[in-house]
């Protein structure tokens, strides 16, 4: 009754032909029961890694995970991870089992899995194997540890964050004992590598309703472990008629209203992170946050560096945060070109969507037409031949070097200066005219 793709069935049948047991297991079964599309399929078997390789000797196989029992069977429809039943050895450090032990029993393999909804297996001959009532928990929409949650979180602390991640992705609650253990043991996440934390956090952020996850993290006291900077925004009163909510609630609203694009969601999450650092009140008692965009962009960089994010991601998020207040600027054509120049044409619409969600979540009258109009204007500029970036200038670095300029930083600076002039006077974007300006400059400087 489960709709298992034929390349997965094929692998199970091949193993069964050689008298091994084989089941589809884990998240894919959960997703199939829920009627969601599984992100991938995993197969578990009592065959040992060498035996799996033997059964699939006529196939291409990959053995990168062999020490942990995993052989990847390559078929044209996709790669499939086939893993030997495992009981995990003792966890000595709360992160990784000290040794991997194989098992002959499916139920032992299911027992080592994190949550009941992830601990089910299925094949056509046996049907559903569900020793921990995962199906009931799916029905009740709850995330519940397999066995004693304290022990399971002691073994692998990352499971604490995974509980939140699955709750958010599936729209479930966390069962009370599991919840209690998450809360009591959350500080242990300090010991987990930033990379593993980052991956779970990103999944939370990219889910349908990230605010649910962020509220869970807050209520479970996990926020102070993984994103302490955000704790300072909780209950932070803005004393400003344009912002009736506290900063944290505003952030949650903006994240929920942004499209599920990593850069945008991260920028939404961190866009007001500079507010607690820049707060001041004027004579009337109105709150202001001068320069919070720049302070926030720098703070966000540090946070994302700590999370070991790739540099391009950090750079993009920082730009979006630094520029998010430009929604209130009264740009004409030139101003918009300079905005595109600073933000980059690949990020400019991301900035607008961020600003739109920011507006939706601000108090008072929502003035969306300014941004909608601006979007149109930007589109027009991008489609026109008018320059907003150096590559569009009718001369390039080589031309400058021919004029006598020494290759190096100066070339970029000159081009930038020429671009500034071209933005002010588009008719200057002409090879002869630009060469003339550059020649004059060269003579003046030498």
Binding site for Mg ion (CB under 5 A): 27
Judged by beta carbon, residue 145 or residue 326, the one nearer ligand ATP is 145
Query: Out of ligand ATP, Mg ion, none, which partner does residue 149 contact, by CB within 5 to 8 A per kind?
Result: none
- Of 129-137, 154-162, 319-327, 394-402: span binding ligand ATP (CB under 6 A): 154-162
**86 makes contact with ligand ATP (CB under 6 A):** no
Sign, CA dihedral 23-26-27-30, equals positive
Judged by beta carbon, residue 134 or residue 296, the one nearer ligand ATP is 134
The answer to whether the CB of 255 falls within 8 A of the CB of 202 is no
Query: Out of ligand ATP, Mg ion, none, which partner does residue 158 contact, by CB within 5 to 8 A per kind?
Result: ligand ATP
Reported as half-sphere exposure (CB side, CA atoms, 13 A), residue 380 has a value of: 10
Query: Out of Mg ion, ligand ATP, none, which partner does residue 114 contact, by CB within 5 to 8 A per kind?
Result: ligand ATP
User: Within 10 A of 262 (CB to CB), how many other CB atoms are there?
Assistant: 14
Judged by beta carbon, residue 171 or residue 235, the one nearer ligand ATP is 171
CA dist 325 and 308 (Å) reads 27
Helices (H), 171-209: 176-185, 194-205
**84 makes contact with ligand ATP (CB under 6 A):** no
**324 makes contact with ligand ATP (CB under 6 A):** no
Query: Minimum CB separation from ligand ATP for residue 159, in Å?
Result: 5
* Binding test (CB under 6 A) with ligand ATP, winner from 109, 130, 137, 156: 156
**27 makes contact with ligand ATP (CB under 6 A):** yes
* Binding test (CB under 6 A) with ligand ATP, winner from 46, 56, 71, 114: 114
**26 makes contact with ligand ATP (CB under 6 A):** yes
* Strand ranges for 299-444 from DSSP E: none
Judged by beta carbon, residue 27 or residue 49, the one nearer Mg ion is 27
| Residue least distant from ligand ATP (Cβ) | 27
**109 makes contact with ligand ATP (CB under 6 A):** no
Listed residue (385, 390, 389) closest to 427, CA to CA: 385
**113 makes contact with ligand ATP (CB under 6 A):** yes
N residues, the chain: 446
- Of 89-97, 111-119, 124-132, 258-266: span binding ligand ATP (CB under 6 A): 111-119
- Beta pairing partners, 62: 72
Q: Which of residues 359-388 bind ligand ATP (CB under 6 A)?
A: none
Reported as half-sphere exposure (CB side, CA atoms, 13 A), residue 182 has a value of: 29
Reported as half-sphere exposure (CB side, CA atoms, 13 A), residue 54 has a value of: 8
- Of 114-122, 301-309, 319-327, 355-363: span binding ligand ATP (CB under 6 A): 114-122
* Binding test (CB under 6 A) with ligand ATP, winner from 14, 86, 142, 159: 159
DSSP string, 349-375: HHHHHHHHHHHHTSSS----HHHHHHH
Judged by beta carbon, residue 41 or residue 248, the one nearer Mg ion is 41
Judged by beta carbon, residue 113 or residue 359, the one nearer ligand ATP is 113
**357 makes contact with ligand ATP (CB under 6 A):** no
Q: Rounded to 5 degrees, what angle do the CA atoms 245, 251, 256 make?
A: 115
The answer to whether the CB of 300 falls within 8 A of the CB of 273 is yes
**39 makes contact with ligand ATP (CB under 6 A):** yes
CA dist 229 and 270 (Å) reads 9
Q: Residues of 271-304 as b/e, b for ≥16 C-beta within 10 angstroms? A: bbbbbbeebeeeeeeebebeebbbbbbebbbebb
Query: Out of ligand ATP, Mg ion, none, which partner does residue 113 contact, by CB within 5 to 8 A per kind?
Result: ligand ATP
CA dist 178 and 375 (Å) reads 47
The answer to whether the CB of 268 falls within 8 A of the CB of 354 is yes
Judged by beta carbon, residue 42 or residue 249, the one nearer ligand ATP is 42
Binding interface with ligand ATP (CB under 6 A): 26-27, 39, 42, 113-114, 118-119, 156, 158-159
């Amino acid at each position: 009754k489960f709709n298992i793709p034929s390349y997965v069935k094929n692998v199970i049948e091949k193993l069964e032909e050689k008298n091994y047991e084989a089941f589809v297991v884990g998240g894919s079964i959960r997703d199939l029961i829920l009627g969601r599309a599984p992100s991938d399929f995993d197969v578990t078997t009592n065959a040992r890694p060498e035996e799996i390789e033997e059964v699939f000797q006529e196939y291409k196989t990959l053995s990168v995970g062999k020490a942990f029992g995993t052989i990847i069977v390559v078929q044209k429809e996709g790669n499939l991870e086939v893993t030997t039943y495992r009981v995990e050895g003792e966890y000595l450090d709360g992160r990784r089992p000290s040794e991997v032990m194989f098992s002959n029993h499916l139920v032992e393999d299911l027992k080592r899995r994190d949550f009941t909804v992830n601990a089910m297996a299925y094949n056509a001959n046996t049907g559903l194997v569900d020793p921990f009532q995962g199906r009931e928990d799916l029905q009740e929409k709850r995330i519940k540890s397999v066995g004693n949650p304290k022990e399971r979180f002691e073994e692998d602390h990352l499971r604490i964050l995974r509980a939140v991640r699955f709750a958010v992705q599936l729209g479930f609650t966390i069962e009370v004992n599991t919840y209690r253990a998450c809360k009591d043991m959350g500080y242990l996440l300090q010991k987990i590598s930033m990379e593993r934390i980052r991956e779970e956090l990103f999944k939370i952020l990219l889910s349908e309703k990230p605010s649910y996850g962020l509220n869970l993290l807050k209520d479970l006291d996990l926020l102070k472990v993984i994103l302490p900077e955000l704790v300072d925004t909780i209950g932070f009163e803005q004393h400003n008629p344009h912002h009736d909510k506290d900063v944290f609630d505003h952030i949650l609203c903006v994240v929920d209203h942004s499209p599920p694009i990593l850069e945008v969601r991260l920028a939404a999450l961190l866009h007001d992170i500079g507010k607690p650092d820049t707060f001041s009140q004027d004579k009337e008692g109105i709150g202001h946050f001068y320069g919070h965009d720049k302070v926030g962009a720098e703070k966000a960089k540090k946070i994302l560096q700590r999370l070991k994010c790739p540099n391009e991601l950090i750079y993009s998020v920082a730009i979006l945060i630094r520029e998010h207040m430009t929604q209130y600027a009264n740009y004409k054509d030139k101003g918009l070109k300079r905005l595109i120049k600073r933000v980059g044409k690949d990020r400019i619409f991301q900035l607008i969507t961020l600003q739109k969600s920011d507006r939706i979540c601000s108090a008072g009258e929502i003035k969306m037409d300014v941004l909608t109009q601006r979007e149109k204007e930007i589109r027009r500029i991008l489609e026109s031949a008018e320059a907003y970036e150096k590559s569009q200038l009718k001369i390039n670095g080589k031309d400058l070097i021919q004029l006598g300029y020494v290759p190096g930083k100066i070339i970029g600076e000159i081009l930038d200066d020429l671009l500034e002039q071209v933005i002010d006077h588009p008719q200057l974007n002409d090879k002869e005219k630009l060469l003339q300006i550059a020649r004059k400059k060269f003579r003046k400087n030498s």
